[in-house]
Amino acid sequence: MKKGIVGILHNTPRLDLTHPAGWTYIIRDILFKGADILTERDDWTTYDQLLICHSLNYKEGDYNIIGGIDKRHYKRIDMIYHFEGDLFSVDDFDIKDYIEKRDLYYSFDKEWIYEKLTLPKKDKIVLGDSHSLSVWPNDQYEIKRLDGKTLHGYLKDPLDLSRYKDVILYFGNIDIRFHLCRQPNPLRSTVELFERYIDYAKKYNATITHLLPIENENRKIPKSGQYKGQNFFGIREQRQTLVDIVNDLMDKSGLNVITWPKEWYDNIDYYQKEVMERTQSVHLKPRYYKKNIKSEQVSLF
C-alpha cells in the first residue's frame, strides 16, 4: 500500500527546518505511517492512498495564498481530480469550496468522497502550547496542542488527566516571554506560578519540560508571535534569570524532567542561528526536537 500526503492550497510543509513540518511528521506518524510527503512535481497517480494535510497553519475555509494563485495550484487541483485511489483529509479542506470562493476556472462534476481522519485517543498524552510538538516522543502518545496558551491561563482551569497512564507537559515559555517581567515582583510571581505547576504535575506524576534559552533581542518575530505588538517584555538578562530559576525548580521537584542541551544556553548565537526555526519564529527546528537529539546530549524519556 503506497501512501502519500499532499496539500492543494499549498504543498504540505516537509522541511525539518520549519515548525509546521513538525506537525506534518506527527500527523504522518500517527495517521499515515510510512507515507511520502508529495508536491506537484511527484506523480500522485502511482499512490494507492492520499491524505490532504495543509499542516497546523491552515484554518478551515481560509483560502488566502501568499504570492497569489499560480500554475502550481492548478496542477495540484488537476492531480487530485484525476486521482483514483482512496482519499483522506485531516484538515477539512474543501476543494469545491476553494474553487468557488477563489473563482477558479475549473468546473468539476466529480463527487468528492473523503474519509475524515482525526487523531486517536491514547492512554498517554503530550499536553502544552505550540512548543509541545518538540517533546512528542512517538505514536503511543496523543497530543493536545493549546497554541498560545499561557501556563497562568491553563492553571485557571486545568484538565483532569487522571485517565492517562503517562503525561508529558510543556508550558511556560510564553509566560516568560511576555508576562512575568510585567509583574510588580517578577521573581516572586515566577516562583509562585511554577510551584503551582509542579504541584499540578505531581498529581499525575507527569514529566515536565525545561524552558528554552532566551534568544538575542535582535531576532525578528512575526506579528503572529507578538503580544500587544511587542516581541517580549523585560530585557533578555532578566528573562534568562527567570528561566534559570524555573529550570532549577523543576530539577528539584522530584519529577521526571525533559532537558535541553547545555550548549544552547551557553552559546546563544548558536542556539538562535542553528537550533531555532529559520523563519524567525520562537520555535525549534524539527531536527532539534527531543526525539531527534543525540542521546548523549539530552536526558531520555
SS3 38: coil
User: Residue 50 in contact with residue 87, Cβ under 8 Å?
Assistant: yes
Q: Classify the phi-psi angles of 35: left when phi > 0, otherwise alpha if psi is within -120 to 50, otherwise beta.
A: beta
CATH class, range 124-292? alpha beta
- pTM comes to 0.91
Give pLDDT tens digits for 62-116.
787 777 788 888 899 889 888 999 999 998 888 878 877 777 766 666 666 789 9
Beta strands in 17-165 (DSSP E): 36-37, 49-52, 86-89, 115-116, 124-128, 142-145
> For position 296, what pLDDT does the model report?
39
Domain assignments of the chain as residue spans, ordered by start: 3-116, 124-292
The three three-digit cell numbers of residue 278, written as one number: 529559520
Q: What are 167-187's pLDDT values in tens digits?
A: 999 999 999 997 999 999 999
Strands (E), 210-282: 257-258
Per the prediction, the chain carries an average pLDDT of: 89
Q: Residue 281: its pLDDT value, please? A: 81
Question: Please, what sign has the CA dihedral across residues 266, 272, 274, 276?
Answer: positive
